[in-house]
């Protein structure tokens, strides 16, 4: 493997890679040519991600695996599913998208993750983790009779294997025993400690056709003698357990092989070429380095998981605070005040702003891995014993724990605070990561309090309010930086359900209601049409007293929110007006009933009709 000291800023010379337009172009390559291809692909990936920004370390870790899988499989006929898809950039480059890779994550460019609408080589659309095993099982069962020669391969990381959904799928796979191959890309798990010459040697034996043939004939010979058969099976399992950590997968009914070096092209080629033709479910455990081939990325796998453009990194303002920083500072301050505060995150420590909290309060910090469902019921259990859990979770990932939120928290009216980062349109990661629906799916749940702060200071105040409320409450805030409002460091709550009347226009029959961080847009609109402006702060409960007073004398209200129109905050006001028999018209601005594709957050807001120009244009036609 060629090692790079830094990300190249000049387009590299890649003569062999330039000849590859699809996997068929390199399936006749020699081992030496495959090695050269891997080096060129790694260098090109470094250069291209340096120019565009995006996920880097994961892709660097699977360069060799990506090449070998496309070399051995008959893709796109065979199904190759990448779990999450952070590591799929090399896959995109080798499957006809090399010349478009500079458009990745940009408006109308390549999607940030595999997408079935983008390429026939993308067998399944991904974005959230731990879905690959269920998907390939469905594919294998569906094509078993119609296309028995079709191969089905899932590549899943050690992080994604921590999710319950992955183990649910493994259990079902072990029960049905279809022909498929699971590759565990392990770059951090403790079970990787057994890598070495002996385990590699046995892995090659277990993955050999000779061993498989002996095992099959031996099974046929011994099955009439049940005791002897089970003794032989037990000896094999115990021998594997001595040199490899795969007993759990064997017990689930999969044939475990590994661990092997995931950067050794020849070893990968030898093992996978046999496993893909074996009967039944195969489980190959490979060891890789996240960020492999780039010295700084190997040293800082978290920092290089995803990067911005090189120029953006250089020009980044170090003092610019993001909403996650506001949350992180609030957590430290509130934890100093209340020893019962417990911080929980499902594998989002850095993204949620909990790094300093985890260092200062290690005994009160829990990263539960990619286990959103568990994180919520774990919080519920803490609450029963009078602790004050705060679940720091992205809006899009709270969707995965919705039943637990209702069944385990809301039904029992337990004191759990949800800090919903990345709410609303998130930008380049696209629709799988946008937090469009939390207002709608939380608003219908009894006992929930829903807060929608408009800036950094309001975020801190509403976090305090939600935390001190004795019951389930959520505070939603977007990705990135806010308007740089001055933050009052006091931990002062607001009365639940109290809106902020920013500007009352006595002679106006129009009310503008803002929910969340589009207050700047709401202010500009209210000024333009000379309307009363209210920052509502709460979706549930609404400030019914103020609404009743304002809507009684209004002809129309306009609601603005960075969330789904259907079932959203504006809908809540419509329902209230109907209940109170207030005859007032309404215009709702929010995210329409469609998925907004990846682009910058500003471009996504335009696509949703939530920029000032679009709002003014619509209002000029309907007012």
Measure the CA–CA gap between 117 and 103, rounded to whole angstroms.
16
**Dihedrals φ, ψ of 441, to 5°?**
-85, -15
Measure the CA–CA gap between 133 and 603, rounded to whole angstroms.
34
400 is catalytic: yes
Measure the CA–CA gap between 191 and 127, rounded to whole angstroms.
26
CA 527, 530, 535, 538 torsion-angle sign:
negative
Burial class (CB in 10 A: 0-12, 13-18, 19+), 11: exposed
**What is the token pair recorded at 209?**
């056709």
Nearest to 70 by CA among 19, 122, 138: 122
Half-sphere exposure of 208 (CA within 13 A, CB side): 9
DSSP alpha helix (H) spans, 20-109 = 31-52, 57-61, 63-72, 89-92
Half-sphere exposure of 350 (CA within 13 A, CB side): 7
Measure the CA–CA gap between 360 and 353, rounded to whole angstroms.
13
For residue 28, the tally of other CB atoms under 10 A from its CB is 8
| Burial per residue of 135-170, b for 16 or more beta-carbon CB atoms within 10 angstroms, e otherwise | bbbebbeebeeeeeebbbbbbbbbbbbbbebbeebb
**What is the token pair recorded at 53?**
């920004």
372 is catalytic: yes
Partner residues linked to 322 by β-bridges: 481
Q: How far is CA 415 from the centre of its chain?
A: 26
Measure the CA–CA gap between 386 and 226, rounded to whole angstroms.
54
Q: What is the DSSP letter of 606?
A: H
Point out the catalytic residue in the list 92, 97, 290, 388.
290
- For the chain, the first-to-last Cα distance in angstroms comes to 65
Point out the catalytic residue in the list 250, 329, 372, 561.
372
**Dihedrals φ, ψ of 157, to 5°?**
-85, 165
| Helix, strand or coil, per DSSP, at residue 339 | coil
Nearest to 161 by CA among 245, 97, 94, 84: 84
Measure the CA–CA gap between 186 and 286, rounded to whole angstroms.
6
Nearest to 562 by CA among 526, 589, 597: 589
Beta strands (DSSP E) in 297-424 are 306-307, 341-345, 365-367, 388-394, 417-421
Point out the catalytic residue in the list 150, 301, 349, 400.
400
Measure the CA–CA gap between 250 and 558, rounded to whole angstroms.
60
**Dihedrals φ, ψ of 295, to 5°?**
-50, -50
Partner residues linked to 475 by β-bridges: 419, 451
Which residues does the annotation mark as catalytic?
290, 372, 400
């Amino acid at each position: 493997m060629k090692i790079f000291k830094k990300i190249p800023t000049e387009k590299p010379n890649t003569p062999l890679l330039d000849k590859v337009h699809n996997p068929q172009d390199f399936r006749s390559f020699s081992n030496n040519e495959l090695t050269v291809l891997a080096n060129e692909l790694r260098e090109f990936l470094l250069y291209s991600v340096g120019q565009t920004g995006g996920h880097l370390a994961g892709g660097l870790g699977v360069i060799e695996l990506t090449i070998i899988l496309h070399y051995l499989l008959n893709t796109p006929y065979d199904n190759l599913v990448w779990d999450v898809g952070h590591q799929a950039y090399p896959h995109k480059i080798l499957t006809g998208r090399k010349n478009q890779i500079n458009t990745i994550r940009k408006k109308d460019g390549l999607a940030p993750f595999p997408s079935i609408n983008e390429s026939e080589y993308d067998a399944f659309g991904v974005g959230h983790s731990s879905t690959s095993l269920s998907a390939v099982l469905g594919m294998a069962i569906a094509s078993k009779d119609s296309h028995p020669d079709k191969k089905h391969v899932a590549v899943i990381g050690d992080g994604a294997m921590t999710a319950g959904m992955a183990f649910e799928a493994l259990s079902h796979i072990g029960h049905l025993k279809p022909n498929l191959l699971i590759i565990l890309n392990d770059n951090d798990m403790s079970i990787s400690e057994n890598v070495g010459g002996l385990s590699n040697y046995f892995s090659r034996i277990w993955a050999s056709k000779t061993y498989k043939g002996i095992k099959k004939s031996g099974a046929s010979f011994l099955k009439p003698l049940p005791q002897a058969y089970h003794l032989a099976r037990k000896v094999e399992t115990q021998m594997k357990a001595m040199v490899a950590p795969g007993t759990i997968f064997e017990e689930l009914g999969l044939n475990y092989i590994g661990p092997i070096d995931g950067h050794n092209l020849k070893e990968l080629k030898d093992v996978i070429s046999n496993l893909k033709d074996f009967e039944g479910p195969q489980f190959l455990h490979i060891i890789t380095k996240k960020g492999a081939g780039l010295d700084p990325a190997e040293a800082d796998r978290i920092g290089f998981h995803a990067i911005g453009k090189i120029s953006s990194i250089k020009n980044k303002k170090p003092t610019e605070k993001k909403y996650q920083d506001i949350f992180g500072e609030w957590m430290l301050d509130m934890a100093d005040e209340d020893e019962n505060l417990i911080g929980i995150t499902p594998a989002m420590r850095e993204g949620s702003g909990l790094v300093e909290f985890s260092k200062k309060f290690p005994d009160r910090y829990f990263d539960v891995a990619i286990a959103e469902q568990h994180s919520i019921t774990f919080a519920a259990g803490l609450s029963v014993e009078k602790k004050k859990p705060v679940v720091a979770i992205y809006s899009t990932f709270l969707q995965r724990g919705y039943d637990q939120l209702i069944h385990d928290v809301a039904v029992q009216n337990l004191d759990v605070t949800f800090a919903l980062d990345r709410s609303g349109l998130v930008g380049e990661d696209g629709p799988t990561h946008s937090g469009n629906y939390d207002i709608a799916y939380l608003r219908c749940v009894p006992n929930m309090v829903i807060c929608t702060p408009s800036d950094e200071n309001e975020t801190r105040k509403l976090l305090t309010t939600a935390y001190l409320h004795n019951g389930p409450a959520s505070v939603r805030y977007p990705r990135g930086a806010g308007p740089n409002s001055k933050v009052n460091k006091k931990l002062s709550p607001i009365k639940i359900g109290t809106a902020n009347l920013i500007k009352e226009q006595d002679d106006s029959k129009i009310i503008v209601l803002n929910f969340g961080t589009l207050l700047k847009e709401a202010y500009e609109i209210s000024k333009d049409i000379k309307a009363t402006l209210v920052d509502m702060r709460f979706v549930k409960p609404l400030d019914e007293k103020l609404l009743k007073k304002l809507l009684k004398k209004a002809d129309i209200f306009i609601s603005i929110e960075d969330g789904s129109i259907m079932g959203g905050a504006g809908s809540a006001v419509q329902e209230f007006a109907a209940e109170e028999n207030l005859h007032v018209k309404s215009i709702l601005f929010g995210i329409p009933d469609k998925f907004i594709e990846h682009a910058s957050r500003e471009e996504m807001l335009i696509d949703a009709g939530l920029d000032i120009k679009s709002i003014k244009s619509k209002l000029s036609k309907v007012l």
